[in-house]
C-alpha cells in the first residue's frame, strides 16, 4: 500500500516523530474505531459533529437521515476534516506537566460526495453495519426502497490523511525520576458487556455469537 503523501496541512508541527503516514497503519486505526468527529463550516459557523463511519477500500463512508444538516451540507462538496481517536491509556508522570495519554488518532481532509448509485449505497450501508457488528447485515431485514431513499450516504476519499501515535511510559525530567511518586500507565480499552435482550424479544431467540463475544481491537 502506498503511504499518504505529506501535505502542508497534514504535516505535524508538534512532536513530528509521532506522525504516521503509513496507509496500512492508518487503516488499522480507522478499522478499530467506529466513531469519528466531522468538522465543517456552514455559513461561517464551524461545527464538529460525532457520527459513525466505516472504511471500505480507500473511502470513508458516513450515513444518516436525508434531513441531516451535516450530511446535506457536506453533500455540497465543501471542505471537511474528520478525526478518529483511540485512547490506549493514561500516562501518569512524576510532574503534573508531563502527564499524557497513549493514543492512536487520525485526521483526514477532503471533500465528500453523495453516494446515489443503488449498488454502492447498499455496499456502503453493509460496510457500516459490518464495521460495527460483523455478521449482522446478513441476518437482518434488508432496507426497503423507501428506507434507502430516506438515508443519505456520503463517501470521503482517503487521499490526504495523517496519524499520530503515542505509546510507552511517561517521559519525565531527569531530576524528577527520584521523586517518590507513582508513575506509569493505566491502560484503557473498550470492553463489551453482557448483551441485554430487548424486552419484546421472543424467549426462544438466543443472542448470536457476534453479540455475546463482541470485541474490538
**3-state secondary structure at position 99:** coil
Q: Smaller CB distance to ligand FAD: residue 69 or 213?
A: 69
Which residues, 6 or more positions from 90, have their beta carbon under 8 angstroms from its beta carbon?
Answer: 99, 101, 102, 185, 186, 188
The contact pattern for ligand FAD, residues 22-61, with x = CB under 6 A and - = no contact, is: -------------x-----------x-xxxx---------
H helices present in the chain, as ranges: 23-32, 69-74, 118-132, 145-150, 209-212
Q: Which sign does the torsion angle of CA 210, 217, 40, 153 carry?
A: negative
* Interface positions, 66-85, toward ligand FAD (CB under 6 A): 68-70
Closest approach, Cβ 118 to ligand FAD, in A, equals 20
Q: Give yes or no for a contact between 36 and 83, defined as CB atoms under 8 angstroms apart.
A: yes
- CA atoms of 33 and 173, how far apart (whole Å): 33
Please tell me the count of residues contacting ligand FAD according to CB under 6 A: 12
Among 64, 75, 89, 110, binds ligand FAD (CB under 6 A): 64
> Given the rule CB under 6 A, which of 5-13, 65-73, 108-116, 161-169 is the region that contacts ligand FAD?
65-73
Closest approach, Cβ 176 to ligand FAD, in A, equals 38
Binding site for ligand FAD (CB under 6 A): 35, 47, 49-52, 63-65, 68-70
Amino acid at each position: 500500500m502506498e503511504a499518504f503523501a505529506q501535505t502542508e496541512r497534514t504535516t505535524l508541527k508538534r512532536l513530528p516523530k509521532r506522525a504516521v503516514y503509513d496507509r496500512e497503519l492508518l487503516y488499522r486505526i480507522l478499522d478499530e474505531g467506529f466513531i469519528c468527529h466531522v468538522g465543517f463550516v456552514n455559513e461561517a459557523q464551524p461545527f464538529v459533529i460525532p457520527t459513525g463511519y466505516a472504511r471500505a477500500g480507500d473511502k470513508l463512508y458516513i450515513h444518516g437521515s436525508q434531513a441531516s444538516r451535516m450530511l446535506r451540507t457536506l453533500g455540497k462538496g465543501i471542505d471537511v476534516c474528520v478525526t478518529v481517536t483511540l485512547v490506549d491509556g493514561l500516562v501518569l508522570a512524576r510532574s503534573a506537566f508531563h502527564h499524557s495519554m497513549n493514543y492512536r488518532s487520525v485526521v483526514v481532509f477532503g471533500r465528500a460526495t453523495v453516494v446515489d448509485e443503488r449498488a454502492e449505497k447498499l455496499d456502503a450501508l453493509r460496510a457500516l453495519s459490518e464495521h460495527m457488528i460483523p455478521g449482522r447485515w446478513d441476518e437482518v431485514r434488508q432496507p426497503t426502497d423507501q428506507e434507502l431513499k430516506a438515508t443519505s450516504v456520503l463517501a470521503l476519499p482517503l487521499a490526504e490523511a495523517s496519524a499520530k501515535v503515542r505509546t510507552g511510559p511517561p517521559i519525565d525530567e531527569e531530576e524528577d525520576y527520584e521523586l517518590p511518586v507513582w508513575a506509569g500507565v493505566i491502560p484503557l480499552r473498550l470492553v463489551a458487556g453482557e448483551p441485554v435482550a430487548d424486552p419484546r424479544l421472543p424467549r426462544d431467540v438466543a443472542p448470536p455469537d457476534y453479540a455475546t463475544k463482541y470485541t474490538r481491537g
